[in-house]
A and B are shown apart, each in its own frame.
Chain A
């Protein structure tokens, strides 16, 4: 059993039958697509052309696909060996935009390579810093990874793309049907129905969207005009990186936050895949972080956007009990191939927004609860209460009252950028501060 009431159908090293493997990989791939539009948003925000946008999207898909395969592979040097796929990293969006504003796509590439190298060096360090991550800290980090997906998932679920726009009842219906089918199939379904609950929900939501929304039908019409095969890099100019010392601090901070997020994801993946482990095994987590950093650097080198491990996909694995790393390998390989086939990738990218939102809500529910359970698995005293409480209040405050934090000096603002990074940094620091006397006593007694 991976979780309370969740049976593992395909364990970490199990190879599911071919047809099952393909369907489970397809299901994971659908979730990986949820972040595939981020590079297009970034390029559009900086006024890039449609061709630049499609190039960055395709290259990011290839990088994320290859990264997912590396992450799931087992060898001496790199990769956690868990189902923990890569997607385009939403946490990198704000700083990526800042870099792209300042020096265009070449600077973005250079700074992503830098961020990847930072993550790789942190991976080696994190093994020695285990004392910084007791269950309370890792549990809160995993919870916040899930919480960080809330804005995107809720906006998508209700089909509201831009702030100030109206709410559409059709979107709410599409999202609700998709979510109900996913949850229903997961709760009351058995065998295949339970295992393919996300796929069934997506299919049901998409059919309702085709019925209720003329746009959904129109969008499908675009597929006909897109080629089957296209090589994403059109000139060597697409790969040229540059570097700026002014961007070092924001990228350093975001790469630390990215590492912490992946750390949380890898812990969640470990808990789901190896529920019988009594203590955290740092070896695969460190190798997983190395893979994450390497993939980020590789993405920068390829001219893609930064990639990150995906919490939704781990949540889906927990929900279906299919945690086999082979699913991630097949999904990753297929995702990379789709980067070269615009027709198929567009077909999958056209999954209606509310269905995407429903998929994220479904998957992230598991992520949040996994984190909460981890956090409360230890006895809570007042020190932990304050460490968690203050971190949560100030972290969530960055999202609830952003104006307050925007008035801070610039150097401080980078530490209070968003709920995930703020909460994570604060809980790591405060936990140690509030346990300082205990640590000193332990140190003295060891010395004595």
Chain B
């Protein structure tokens, strides 16, 4: 009897393991291919993935139920984005607020002219991103300085936005953001890719717009560098006037030349990431440069932006 029982357990364990492997290797991959949330893999942080997924769900509710969805947002705000500081908002493309989970007093007001400390106009920027840059920026990201409800000082906020048409035909955008957020590499990719398009379209005239901190090209206190193919700086985010310097000669803490490496990578690819080491206070920290090739008035140039990288939690 005892032997029979032990044999049964052994068989059950073996069966369970084999079943799991079989399911993993053979069956589930076919289901996996069809899952639409795969594009969230571009984000490093779970908080960002939760924000995008929740906002997308809320946008679906507004597209389906129109203003009827707002009551559900009010009743159970945590059911949508589920992040501590995040709330939903809905605006039309002219900047009229229809719903605001963080500042209810905004409802019914036009915030198109509202601007932050740097002069960024969030409503204007969102509408521009959703209508003109949807291919490069499919989740409608914009970044601006904003005071979280109950906080004294503003901090960088990143918001994702989705354009929807309500049942009554009005086009609105549904968005939500993370206050004091963790900068994703994807944000910097978007900024540089958009800058490359602008340079291609407007040539040297675009440099002033790229340098304007009230525009979409300054995020998290970082701006865009433009270099010629010899490494000479044409646009320097740190200075109003470019002073002659060659970034190919820049050496990081480990003695590497990241801008030169970027240039070499861009010989083969249209865009590339390079990681480098820099001193910050007492610590050596790693940062990345995202760069891409562009053509400015017929001349090849390199665009790049510096961004921080996520630190594995256990490394602290």
Contacts and interface: CB of A to CB of B under 8 A. Distances in A.
B28 A165 contact: no
Interface string B145-169: 0000000000000000000000000
Interface string A137-164: 0000000000000011011100111111
Interface string B1-36: 000001001100110110011001100111111010
Interface in A97-115: 98, 101-102
Nearest to B180: A164
A406 interface: yes
A214 B255 CA distance: 43
A350 B17 CA distance: 15
Interface stretch (B45-53, B93-101, B114-122): B45-53
B200 interface: no
Contact of A350 (B24, B282, B288): B24
B132 interface: no
A192 B275 contact: no
B156 to A, nearest CB: 13
A278 to B, nearest CB: 35
A210 B19 CA distance: 14
Contacts of B38: 218, 221
Interface stretch (B188-196, B223-231, B305-313): B305-313
Contact of B13 (A154, A193, A224): A193
A101 B254 contact: yes
B316 to A, nearest CB: 5
Contact of A47 (B37, B50, B274): B274
A221 B28 contact: yes
B46 A168 contact: yes
Contacts of B84: 166
A160 B313 contact: yes
Determine the main DSSP class of B at the interface with A.
Answer: helix
Contacts of B313: 151, 155, 160-163, 165
B93 to A, nearest CB: 31
Nearest to A206: B20
A221 B254 contact: no
B28 A220 contact: yes
B224 to A, nearest CB: 20
B14 A23 contact: yes
B33 A221 contact: yes
Contact of B16 (A45, A203, A343): A203
Nearest to A48: B275
Contacts of A165: 45-47, 182, 310, 313
A193 B17 CA distance: 13
Given A155-B312, A203-B20, A101 B29 contact: no
B30 A217 contact: no
B212 interface: no
A101 B251 CA distance: 12
B259 to A, nearest CB: 13
A442 interface: no
A54 B277 CA distance: 23
B83 interface: yes
Interface in B35-89: 35, 37-38, 41, 44-47, 50, 83-84
Contacts of A164: 45, 182, 310-311
B314 A407 contact: no
A347 B309 CA distance: 27
B24 A162 contact: no
A220 B29 contact: yes
Nearest to B48: A165
Contacts of A220: 24, 28-29, 32
Given A200-B13, A343-B25, A221 B35 contact: yes
A122 to B, nearest CB: 27
Interface string A23-53: 1001000000000000001000111000000
A152 B41 CA distance: 22
A45 B254 CA distance: 14
A214 B13 contact: no
Contacts of A168: 46
Interface size class of B (residues with CB under 8 A): 35 or more
B29 A221 contact: yes
A222 interface: yes
Question: For chain A, which range describes its interface: under 10, 10 to 19, 20 to 34, or 35 or more residues?
Answer: 35 or more
B13 A347 contact: no
B312 A163 contact: yes
Nearest to B275: A47
B9 A23 contact: no
Q: From B38, B45, B46, B288, name the one whose CB has the most chain A CB atoms within 10 angstroms.
A: B46
Contacts of A45: 275, 286, 309
Most buried by A among B21, B28, B37, B316: B28
Contacts of B46: 159-161, 165-166, 168
B44 A162 contact: yes
Contacts of B10: 19, 191-192
A326 interface: no
A69 to B, nearest CB: 23
A196 B83 CA distance: 38
Contacts of A196: 13
Given A192-B6, A214-B37, A224-B33, A151 B28 contact: no
A174 interface: no
A65 B242 CA distance: 55
B273 interface: yes
Contact of A151 (B32, B254, B282, B314): B314
A254 to B, nearest CB: 16
A217 to B, nearest CB: 6
A82 to B, nearest CB: 26
Interface string A200-225: 10010011001000110111111110
B256 interface: yes
Contacts of B316: 151, 163, 402
Given A47-B274, A155-B313, A166-B84, 15 more contacts: A23-B17, A151-B313, A162-B313, A163-B311, A163-B315, A165-B310, A166-B50, A196-B13, A199-B13, A215-B37, A217-B28, A221-B28, A223-B28, A224-B29, A224-B30
7 smallest A-B Cβ distances: which pairs?
A221-B32, A224-B29, A47-B275, A162-B310, A151-B314, A155-B313, A101-B254
22 contacts: A23-B17, A47-B273, A47-B288, A98-B254, A151-B315, A161-B46, A162-B44, A162-B310, A163-B311, A163-B316, A165-B45, A165-B47, A165-B313, A168-B46, A191-B6, A193-B9, A193-B13, A199-B13, A218-B35, A222-B29, A222-B32, A223-B24
